[in-house]
């Protein structure tokens, strides 16, 4: 399987003023493209070449660090782009909204937990809302391009439905070292309808 860079579902400048066009362009065209190029090189001629991306991540401990890093980078960024929107639905609905209230007490509490996870992640990484394999939801953070789907993750395993990139390349041109400001701005472009769609698809898989 050869991976290719997915197009963004909006223009690079569409998320301004929250996410600037220059950052979005570099982030997508250079960083994400590099993960794809390096993933294709890493899997060429190996058993990993026959696996789908999600299948690869679920057993990523079998493969080289290059596969782990670059498959994670491709998966994580593909999820990230698709939960952002210039005209987002600002609150979740349906069963996801119900479970957020049940687990976290409120949407504001969930946002605070994700921000806390993103700020506490030392160095590069991601903060996640994910569905555990038992169907419940949780928040966690991972280093580098890891994610909860990977079998190298010994705790908090599951399927991501929302991810926030806290690598400096995601925000430094606009927010410099103010990661907290970037995490606050994220909610202005997060499309909860996309997250809810991810949630419903995951729950259908787990049944």
Q: Which pLDDT tens digit goes with each residue over 69-87?
A: 999 999 999 999 999 999 9
Reported confidence tier of residue 39, pLDDT bands at 50, 70, 90: very high
In this prediction, residue 207 carries a pLDDT of 79
Give 164's strand partners.
127
Q: Decide if domain 20-207 falls under CATH 3.40.50.150.
A: no
Q: What is the pLDDT of residues 116-175, one digit of tens each?
A: 999 999 999 999 999 999 999 999 999 999 999 999 988 899 999 999 999 999 999 999
Write down the pLDDT at residue 65.
Answer: 96
Flag whether 77 is marked binding.
Answer: yes
Question: How large is the C-alpha radius of gyration of the chain?
Answer: 16
Contact of 179 with 28, CB cutoff 8 Å: no
pLDDT at 154: 85
**Mean model confidence pLDDT for the chain:** 97
151 is in an annotated binding site: no
For the entire predicted model, the pTM comes to 0.96
Whole-angstrom distance, CA of residue 78 vs CA of residue 71: 11
- Cα 205 to Cα 48: distance, rounded to the nearest angstrom: 23
Instruction: Map out the domains of the chain as residue ranges.
Output: 20-207
Q: Are 81 and 9 in contact (CB under 8 A)?
A: yes
Residue percentage of the chain with pLDDT more than 70: 100
Identify the CA nearest to 34 among candidates 72, 85, 91, 79. 72
169 is in an annotated binding site: yes
């Amino acid at each position: 399987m050869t991976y290719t860079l997915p197009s963004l579902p909006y223009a690079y400048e569409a998320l301004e003023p929250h996410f600037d066009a220059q950052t979005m362009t570099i982030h997508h065209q250079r960083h994400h493209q590099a993960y794809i190029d390096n993933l294709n090189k890493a899997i060429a001629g190996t058993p990993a070449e026959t696996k789908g991306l999600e299948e690869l991540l679920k057993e990523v401990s079998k493969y080289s660090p290059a596969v782990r890093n670059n498959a994670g980078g491709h998966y994580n960024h593909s999820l990230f782009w698709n939960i952002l929107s210039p005209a987002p639905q600002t609150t979740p609905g349906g069963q996801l909204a119900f479970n957020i209230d049940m687990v976290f007490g409120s949407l504001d509490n969930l946002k605070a937990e994700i921000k806390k996870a993103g700020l506490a992640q030392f160095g590069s990484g991601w903060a996640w809302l994910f569905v555990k394999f038992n169907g419940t939801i949780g928040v966690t953070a991972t280093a580098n391009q890891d994610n909860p789907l990977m079998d190298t993750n010994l705790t908090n395993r599951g399927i991501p439905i929302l991810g926030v990139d806290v690598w400096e390349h995601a925000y430094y041109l606009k927010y410099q070292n103010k990661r907290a400001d970037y995490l606050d701005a994220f909610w202005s472009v997060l499309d909860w309808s996309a997250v809810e769609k991810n949630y419903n698809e995951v729950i259908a898989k787990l049944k």
